[in-house]
Structure formats: C-alpha cells, structure tokens
Structure 1
C-alpha cells in the first residue's frame, strides 16, 4: 500500500488502490500543506483542504472531484486561495462563497466584449468571437446548415468556458500555445494567446481578477513573413482564365483586389457612394486600422468599375449579395476555381492584395509610396505618409497596374471589352 503522504500528480492519483467496501482512505499532498485526497471504495476521488481558520477549529473543505475532472493544479490553486483567506480570519464558508463568485473565463470574455470591445467599436469583434469558440471556449449550439459541415473545435484547442480565472495557469497557457502551433499553425496559437492576454488584462484592470495574468510572460511565436504574390509567368494564364469565366462577380473581385491592393473585406463591401470615378478615387471609410483610406484608382480599375456600374443592378453595393450583409461575403470557392483553371498553386486571396505592392516595388516605387497606396498604418512612417500627395501615389499605382496588364499579354483588354 502506498504511503498516505506523497506528491500529488495525475499519474500517481490514478494509480491509487481502492479501499475495501465501506471504507475511505485519505492521502496528503507533500507539495501543498493541508491538501488532501479522499478515495472511496466506489472509486470516487475528492480533493479537500484541512485547515484551521484563525481563532477557530480545524475544518475540512471540499474542493472538487478528481474523478469529475478537477486537476491537481486546480485543487492546489483553490487550496492556496482558501488558506490565504482563512489566515486573515475569513471563515471557510465565506472563502468558498467568494471562490464560487469568481468569474469563469467564458463570463470574462463575454464581459470584455460587452463592456470594452463593443463600446470602443473594435473592428475585430467577430474575429475574436470566432477565435474564442475555436480555440478557448465552447462552441455555441446552432442548427447545422443543410449542406454545411458540422462545426468542431480546432485540433489542439481547449474548452475553458467554465474554468474559474484563478485556475488557469501559465503552464496551461504554454501548453495551449504549443498544441495549437503544432496542430493549426503559429498564427492560430498567437491569436489564442493574445485573446487570453487581453481578457485577463482587462479583468485585472476592472478589479475582477486579482492574480497574475497567466499569459503575460508567454511570448508570441515568430511567424515568417509571407512574400507570395502573382509572378510574371502566372499573369497570362490567370488573365486568360478571367477572360473565359462567366462568373463576372469573381472575375471583377480578383481584378479589383489586384488593382487596388485593398483587403478582401473592403473590396467585398465596396459601395458606389464611396467611389468617385471622375477623380479616380475610392474612399474606404471603415478599415482595419480604424481610419478612412483613399485608394487611388488606375485606369484599368476605373474601366472595370464603369463596366460593373452599367451591368450590376445595385444602387449601393459594387458586389451585391443575397445575405444579411447585402453584399458578397464568401468568394473563396470562386477564386479557387479561377486559380485552378489557371494552374496557379499556393496563392491565397490575401496574396492578391500583396501583388500590387510587390509590383510597385518591382517598378521602382518607394516604401512610403507603397504604404500610402495600400493604406498601411505605421508609427514610424505615419508622418511621411501624411505628407504624400495623391499624384505620386496614383502614378505608382498606374505604373504597377500597367506592368501587370502588360505582363498578362493584353488579356486585360479582352476582359474589359467583354
């Protein structure tokens, strides 16, 4: 029979023998004084704290069941908090009540969205909710779409929806970062880590959490910068595929993504009211950076928009859709069809945006000009960008677009003439 006093671990607890029928065995943790584990003949293993409150009698306080999923680390954390409270004269009953009143991670996330993200108009609320559900919390129970896939948690993720904030420790955050990086990539791991960090930071700032942020000293993973864009030899087959397609929405989405260098969400939500074809300008009022951006339009982009204006039955959206947004929202399938037809591999929709800036660099544009063209926001370069006039920006965009169309062996003319 093992000693009744040992260092609690998951493996050692699982290996404990069961007592005889009608009996119960109590074990003591060598790591945390007062932490006990009581094992019954039925296999129930329950953590408890045996501690004397200041000026009172010793009491045993149940902390949770190992059998039902309470970990050794969680039991130790709760025991330490209760011991601290009891040493200051707080009764075990009051200490337990305070522990039960503590926010869960799911409640803290909801509070962060409701009381911070929404009032401050953060643009990434939907992305944060998606990251929380995929990597950190519970998936909402929503009816499965008729032809859609069943939603599931991402590999390597956790479900901390009902975990008390104080039970989440740095070691678990590091493990989450490692598992997500391994299963889903470094970007997913960083998204989850940043979300944990901001939620805990805000709860600490608001007095809802008194401990140390478990993600504070866990660094983000380095992500290699991507340099994929449309190469010269890829342009002719792409423009040939665009000329042949009957899907004018996807065709024009690809063309305008290339020619404006704008983000996918901005191109999809492009409004006619924000476009001035006479001045060859497109004003994006709502960007990721939070500031409006003026995009200088090349002649080819203006021609594409004029063609759409005469053929698209929408007074509001350049790319109207049937969903609740009113505009097209999911071009990935159509874009992939075009790329497959052109036999172009490993190119993403974001690489279309990167193409303009890359060709601007190829045709001699300076980095400030490129940044201004793409609406980049950089602390070091903001003042330089602000001093740039529209003329050199438009000239650079025109030069790069002209090079793209020239490399496409005049296929661009065929597209706009259709």
Structure 2
C-alpha cells in the first residue's frame, strides 16, 4: 500500500482528494485511528468505514457514513467505539446493530422528558416539557437528527454562539438542555462518550431587577381592574407567589380564616406557607362567588383544569397602562384637550392597537422618551419582585423577604426555618398598604371593587 494512501484525516485533505478513474475506487487510511478508512468512488462519493480483522481472523468492514455529511471527528469517534467493541469480542453484526440502534438527539430528548424525575420524585411538568421542546425546535435543528456520538463540541458551541446574538439567556438554556440530554443518556447507558456541552462558557447575564415603581402603580392597578384576569394579576401581586403556583391555586389549600395559603410544592422543590394580606383575603372571598364547583381559584378549560396562559391578558394590561400614562404626559404638555382625552380613553378600550399606533407616533414626533410612559417591559414575574422590592423599601430584612417569597439559599435557609409567619405577615401587609397608597387605593373594599370590575 502506498504511503500516500496513509494520511492524517482532516476536512481540507479529504475535500482535496482526487476522483479515481472510471470503474476504479481509491482507499485512504487514517494514521490516527486504527482501521478507519475513506473510500472514494469514481463518481466522487466518499465513504467512511472501519476495516478490521475480528478475533477469529476474518476481516470485516463496517460502513460509518459519507463525507462530508459525517465529519472527520464524528468518524473517528464512531471508529473508536467500534474498535473498543471489537477488542471486547463483539461480532460484526453486534457492532452494526449498536451503531444502527444508537438514538438520535431528538429521540433522547423525548425519552428524557417522558421519564426523567425532578428532585422530589415527581415527573417534569407539562409546562417544562413544552419549554424544552420549543427551545429545541427553535435552536437545535442542526443536531436534532444526529446520533449522539456524531454530535461534537463545535456544533454545540455554534448553536450557543448563534442564539447568543438574539438572547443570552436562551443560548445558555439551549446548552443546558443539550447537556441534560447527554447526562440522561449516559445515566441510562445509551451513550458512553464525552458530553459535548460541558464547559461551554456561559454568557454574562445581568440580573433582572425590574419592579413596579410608585409612579407606575396607579396605572397598573387601574388597568388590572379592567382585565378579564384582574383577580389573577391582583393576587399574583399581593402574594408574591410564582405565576405557576397562582395559576394552580386550589381552594383546598387556602385557609382564609388563618389567612394562609399552603403550597405543597414550589419550583425550588420545597413547600411554602404564603401569608395572605386582608386585601388578598377579600379578593379571594369575592372570587369564591364566581368559580362554581371548580377546585381551582382560576378554572381553565384545558386538561389541567386551571388557568394556563395569561400572557395575552397581561400584554393588554400593560398596553392600557402605558397608553394612559402617555396620555397624562401629553395632557401635562398641553398637547391633549379634555375632549381629546375622553376620545382617547374610549379608543384605548375599543381599539387598543390603533390607539397605540396613533399616540406612540405623536410621542415620537414630540421626541418624548418612551421610558417616561412605556411599561410593556414589566413581566408577570415582576409582580413577585414588586412585592419583595416594596418589602425592602418599607424596611423588611432580607431574611423576612426570603421567607415570604420562598427563596432558597444555602446561607439563609437555616434563618428562614426559624422564622414564623408573624413578622412575614407584618412585612407583607406593610408593603401592600404602601403599594395601595401609591396607587391611590386605600381601603380594602376598593381592592374588592377592582377585582370585581371585570364581572360587572
């Protein structure tokens, strides 16, 4: 065999290989991995294979895949696996079967979501499954149909780099999901190689500290009062609970006399006692009159039985709040008469999209900074942060804030365990009163009226 046929495989060298004469085929041998070959046909097709003698002395060829669809790195990884199996005494049929039966990434992700358990032993939630699958659909198309041993680190880094241009958090999440799939595959003996997603540098993400400011609260409360999900947003704000927990709030977990909501399991894997302010209790009592026989405070028509997705309603709340804040600003500048303001308020109710386009264009012409009125960057989760922030503003300690919001940190967990609900209740109620005063809502009955406006 000519020394010219023994080369160190690389993309550049294999791409530059000449095409044999008609009717002939050339074979090249990798100098790094035993038995790894590339055969080039006279039609230009280049195919990786492993050619080895089995334990009994009989030579066998195991076809791997075509170059460049299969990369040199992938071929070397697969050849290494085959060599190990041959050395262990496996026959060619077993080797071929192992290659054929190795799962692709999409299959492994689906199995992981079906069988993986959380730390408390419960299955992964439907919401988490959807989130993982949506992330995979958007960002992992390049590896979805690849066998696990064919996915290399450079491909994962490419995914991270591409997604980072749009969202640093999404990029890091995509890599974390890929890593989880490979860890699961390793744990269940579907994969024995190196996880290609490990030690990929995460993006530097600035922690979000957005919460409703005092100047925003009047507009926010007014817009919430007009929403079809006014009770939901109000209770999310007054309890500081996570959105998923508020959505699944059940009557059996509420003790309105003791003013406590018992959450059996939260996102961080622990139960939580949520203290209920008088305003929250009043809203819940009013809510009870509207839910019929449903076990949930916020019934839904889907298979969960409770509210699942409040994003559209929240977007409508923020749009109304932002536009009314802009209208007040325009009025203060003398750019809006009383009659025009009345017409604008009506348009916000009947045609919010048209109102937004019209008044944002006016603001642009007047060079009004959107930061002076735009609240559309406020997320539902920021309602939870809003309560905590107002607790801090009214003098609550970090330990009490952590207890009320069920934060879990190694340093403060022991402190939280020694706290009872009395100081937490005082802090929550003080923060609630401060928010209501800032919003111009000072009486408990007024909160009930807010939550009942959508049912008039």
Give TM-score scaled by structure 1 length. 0.83
Task: Encode CA deviations 1:272-303: one digit per residue, 9 max, x unaligned.
Answer: 22222221111122321233211111121112
Alpha-carbon distance change, 158 to 135 in structure 1, aligned in 2, over 3 angstroms: farther
2:311 aligned with 1:332:
yes
2:96 aligned with 1:96:
yes
Task: Encode CA deviations 1:148-168: one digit per residue, 9 max, x unaligned.
Answer: xxxxx31x4235444333333
1:181 maps to: 164
Aligned length: 394
CA contact (8 A) 1:131 1:192 kept: no
Matching of residues 215-226 of structure 1 within 5 Å? 215-226=197-208
1:290 maps to: 269
CA contact (8 A) 1:239 1:411 kept: no
Task: Encode CA deviations 1:232-272: one digit per residue, 9 max, x unaligned.
Answer: 111111122234x1x3x421211111111011111111112
Greater Rg, structure 1 or structure 2? 2
Matching of residues 123-272 of structure 1 within 5 Å? 124-136=124-136, 153-154=137-138, 156-183=139-166, 185-243=167-225, 245=226, 247=227, 249-272=228-251
Task: Encode CA deviations 1:313-370: one digit per residue, 9 max, x unaligned.
Answer: 3442211222222222111111111111111131111111110001101111001100
2:398 maps to: 367
CA contact (8 A) 1:229 1:354 kept: yes
1:177 to partner: Cα distance = 2.7
Give TM-score scaled by structure 2 length. 0.77
Q: Which structure features the higher share of helix residues?
A: 2
Task: Encode CA deviations 1:46-90: one digit per residue, 9 max, x unaligned.
Answer: 1122334456255443211226x3222211111122233334554
Cα separation, 2, equivalents of 1:9 and 1:317: 61
Give the alignment's Cα RMSD to 1 decimal: 2.9
Unaligned runs of 5+ in 2: 323-374
Of stretches 96-105 and 353-362 in structure 1, the one that deviates more from structure 2 is: 96-105
Cα separation, 1, equivalents of 2:286 and 2:182: 51
2:321 aligned with 1:320:
no
Bigger relative CO (Cα 8 Å, ≥ 6 apart): 2
Task: Encode CA deviations 1:363-410: one digit per residue, 9 max, x unaligned.
Answer: 110011001111222232222111111111100000001110011122
Unaligned runs of 5+ in 1: 137-152
Match of 2:57, SS? coil
Match of 1:295, SS? strand
Match of 1:226, SS? coil
1:38 maps to: 39
